[in-house]
A and B are shown apart, each in its own frame.
Chain A
Amino acid sequence: MIFFGEKVILKVRKHPLVFFIDSFFCFVLLCAPLILLGIAFFFGIKIEIPRENIIGLAIVLAISLYYLYALLFLLFSFFMYFLDRWIVTEKHVVDVKQTSLFSRTVAKQEIGRIQDVTAEVKGFFQTIFDFGNVYIQTAGEQERFVFENVPDPNGIANTVMKVIDQQKQKPL
């Protein structure tokens, strides 16, 4: 992926808050039965699984599958968060995108071909928690690289600009 001997300047992932927002649905799934049980207990409703017939077994097995799949969704959202990343080396910018379990795209662009770097912080949460997008305009086939929801986008844009300047100043 990166040429041997290249110095890695920056490795970034999405802001951790993005993972928490994405996995919020899984947390709700995991907590919902417990909350419902709590409400039932509060109102004095006694919930009992029938022991003798098929319904009891079906309920236990369904709850088991429900929790196992909710945990799997949580693991999967972590997987998607963890494997999406961007790497800046002294000569290249690499965009690693995990689109599904068996689908992954790795795009690479030379630093020298970068034309413009833009940082964007938009909205309440992005402003408060300091994360946003960094757009890297290049002259290559994939015209624009987007570092999505990365922490400190202005800092990252400055770092990329510094690397470009250093690259330009190097003798050929």
Chain B
Amino acid sequence: MEFVIAVSIYLLLLAVWAFLSMMTLFMMMRYQGFSLLTWIASILYLLMSAGALLVTMNLVSRLEVDWTSLLYFFQASL
């Protein structure tokens, strides 16, 4: 059950982060247009975020976590 709570909180905060990131990038593009600096900042940000997420996935895959309980929980909640 603890795994379910930890992963659920993570996914919730990740969704908030993704929403705020997309809104910030969208507003920047909306007001500033497709200027070179906007492109560079957006691409750098997306690359660094993707890197952080890849490192997270790599570290999580090394943990010996019983993922089946998580799978069963989400299946049951569906």
Contact = CB atoms under 8 A, between A and B. Distances in A.
Interface of A: 49, 51-52, 54, 56-58, 60-61, 63-65, 67-69, 71-72, 74-76, 78-79, 82-83, 98, 101-102, 104
A52 B64 contact: yes
Contacts of B38: 82
Contacts, number: 82
Contacts of B41: 75, 78, 82
B27 to A, nearest CB: 6
A71 B32 CA distance: 21
B6 A58 contact: yes
Contacts of A65: 10, 13-14, 17
Nearest to A70: B52
Interface of B: 2-3, 6-7, 9-10, 13-14, 17, 20-21, 23-25, 27-28, 31-32, 37-38, 41, 45, 48-49, 52-53, 55-56, 59-60, 62-65
Given A54-B2, A61-B56, A82-B37, A71 B24 contact: no
B64 A75 contact: no
B29 to A, nearest CB: 11
Contacts of A58: 6
Nearest to B11: A61
B63 A71 contact: no
A103 to B, nearest CB: 10
A82 B59 contact: no
Contacts of A83: 27-28, 31-32
